[in-house]
């Protein structure tokens, strides 16, 4: 069906639903149309009818029943075009949008104080996202097995081995997610300990917290985004002041089931492996994760303050440090580290996350202390490791002398290293970027 035909059909169902609402509902509309079109048959006893009269009477009743069936079918199609009706297995949905006992009592005040858009009906959300109800439903619908999903999948290699699965939303969904990010999620508070994906903060500000440390304690949250399932995301929108239906739709738009691709008879099927969760690749996932982690960050900050430690989080990386100014000796430090790890494990578990114990590391002053890639030894500002600077300087020099880059390296990767240096040492980083730009211009296309 062409886009024009689809649009015309949508307009038809929308107009029909407006007529149904004016009539007072589907039942009233059907009865009204039967009367208007002259299909209503006056009921009469058939005992005294002749055979011919009885046949005519039955024929008229059949016509009335057939027309009523068609009217009901059209009314139902019009209803579905303007309502969600059903969003898939394991997703609770009701087209009754009246208040319920789980609504926050000060929802309107919360939305106003955070400057959030007022959304009380699905059609208002669809309009804000420039979508039809059918398109909104299609993006939110939970399919256990599908031949098409609103994400494209690819894998990237991790620095420490293994692969990271990326699910990138299709343009229509990505546009909707960016609207949610800018108009809702960016307006909601995050904790001061969070440095990842927060305006005005970066890997440098995260590292700055831990400069000049006697001991650095680094921990990692296992399967960070997949651990945040869609119902937790829904709780964020509920707490922001949105009703059940809107919170459900927003959470579904920001989540997807982890899937396995299966080939059968030349057809690719995407099979859901678990409940919907935050996908790695959606623009809303980082902001939602920071909001979900507010209570955990609050508790871990309180734990750090209680023991004279410092705490920060960058996405799934948790970092604690004992300042060099601390008077604790090595035995006291070891006891404190043991107490800390036990307490962190308990808090993280209670907040619905899991520590990746294989990545826990304790780094003391005699070793190079890195936080989100930045060296924080001593009182100096966080900086990029010397080996990265040496490697970049050598690569640029070799290119200037007409020699090739090592396998796997490119001007794009060199620009990435230079941008990394720029974040901590702007002048030096810009110098490298200028050299790389000059090399790019001199390189034949």
**Could you tell me the sign of the dihedral formed by the alpha carbons of 93, 96, 97, 103, in that order?**
negative
- Give the three-state DSSP class for 312: strand
pLDDT at 296: 98
pLDDT value at position 444?
63
| pLDDT digits 0-9 by tens, 5-25 | 878 888 899 999 999 999 999
Cross-sheet strand order for the sheet of 145-146: 145-146, 267-272, 259-264
Q: Which of the four pLDDT bands, split at 50, 70 and 90, describes residue 339?
A: very high
- Show Cβ contacts of residue 236 under 8 Å, excluding neighbours closer than 6 positions: 188, 251, 288, 291, 292
- With CA atoms as reference, report the closest residue to 292 among 229, 202, 344, 342: 229
Asked whether the predicted pLDDT for residue 3 surpasses 80, the reply is: no
- Is residue 445 pLDDT above 60, yes or no? no
Q: Of the candidates 262, 233, 258, 275, which has an alpha carbon nearest to the alpha carbon of residue 164?
A: 258
For the residues of 322-344, what is the DSSP string, one character each? Answer: EETT----HHHHHHHHHHHHHHH
What is the total residue count of the chain?
A: 445
Which one has a higher pLDDT value, 119 or 101?
Answer: 119
Question: What is the pLDDT, as a whole number, of residue 97?
Answer: 86
Q: pTM for the whole thing?
A: 0.89
Q: What is the mean pLDDT of the chain?
A: 92
Q: Which helix (H) or strand (E) holds 139?
A: helix 133-140
Whether the per-residue pLDDT at 325 is higher than 80: the answer is: yes
Confidence of residue 328 (pLDDT cuts 50, 70, 90): confident
What pLDDT band is residue 187 in, cutting at 50, 70 and 90? very high
Q: What is the pLDDT of residues 302-321, one digit of tens each?
A: 999 999 999 999 999 999 99
pLDDT band of residue 177 (cuts 50, 70, 90) is very high
Q: Cβ distance 237 to 247 under 8 Å?
A: yes
- Give the model's pLDDT for residue 159: 61
417: helix, coil or strand? helix
Least confident of 160-164, 260-264, 394-398: 160-164
Is residue 259 within 8 Å of 273, Cβ to Cβ?
A: yes
Residue 103 binned pLDDT confidence (cut-offs 50, 70, 90): confident
């Amino acid at each position: 069906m062409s886009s024009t035909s689809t649009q015309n059909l949508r307009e038809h169902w929308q107009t029909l639903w407006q007529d149904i609402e004016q009539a007072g509902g589907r039942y009233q509309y059907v009865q009204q149309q039967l009367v208007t079109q002259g299909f209503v048959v006056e009921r009469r006893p058939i005992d005294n009818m002749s055979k011919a009269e009885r046949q005519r009477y039955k024929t008229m009743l059949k016509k009335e029943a057939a027309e009523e069936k068609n009217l009901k079918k059209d009314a139902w199609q019009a209803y579905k075009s303007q309502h969600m009706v059903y969003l898939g297995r394991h997703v609770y949905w009701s087209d009754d949008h009246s208040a319920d006992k789980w609504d926050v009592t000060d929802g309107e005040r919360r939305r106003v104080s955070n400057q959030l858009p007022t959304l009380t009906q699905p059609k208002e959300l669809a309009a804000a996202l420039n979508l039809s109800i059918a398109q909104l439903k299609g993006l939110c619908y939970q399919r256990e097995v599908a031949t098409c999903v609103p994400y494209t999948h690819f894998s990237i290699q991790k620095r420490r081995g293994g692969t990271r699965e990326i699910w990138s939303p299709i343009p229509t969904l990505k546009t909707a997610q960016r609207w949610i990010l800018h108009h809702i999620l960016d307006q909601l508070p995050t904790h001061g300990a969070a440095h990842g994906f927060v305006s005005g903060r970066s890997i440098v500000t995260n590292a700055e917290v831990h400069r000049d440390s006697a001991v650095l304690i680094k921990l990692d949250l296992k399967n960070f985004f997949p651990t945040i399932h869609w119902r937790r995301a829904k709780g964020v929108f509920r707490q922001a002041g949105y009703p059940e239906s809107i919170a459900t739709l927003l959470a579904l738009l920001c989540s997807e089931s982890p899937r396995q691709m299966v080939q059968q008879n030349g057809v690719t099927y995407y099979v859901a492996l678990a409940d919907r969760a935050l996908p790695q690749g959606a623009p809303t996932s980082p902001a939602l994760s920071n909001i979900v982690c507010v209570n955990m960050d609050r508790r871990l900050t309180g734990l750090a303050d209680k023991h004279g430690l410092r705490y920060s989080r960058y996405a799934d990386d948790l970092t604690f440090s004992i300042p060099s100014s601390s008077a604790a000796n090595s035995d006291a430090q070891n006891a404190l580290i043991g107490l800390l790890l036990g307490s962190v494990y308990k808090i993280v578990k209670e907040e619905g996350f899991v520590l990746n114990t294989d990545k826990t590391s304790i780094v003391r002053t005699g070793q190079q202390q890195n936080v989100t890639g930045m060296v924080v030894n001593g009182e100096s500002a966080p900086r990029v490791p010397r080996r990265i600077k040496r490697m970049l300087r050598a690569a640029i020099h070799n290119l200037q002398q007409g020699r090739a880059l090592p396998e796997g390296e490119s001007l794009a990767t060199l620009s990435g290293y230079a941008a990394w240096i720029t974040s901590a040492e702007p002048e030096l980083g810009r110098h490298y970027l200028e050299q790389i730009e000059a090399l790019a211009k001199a390189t034949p296309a």
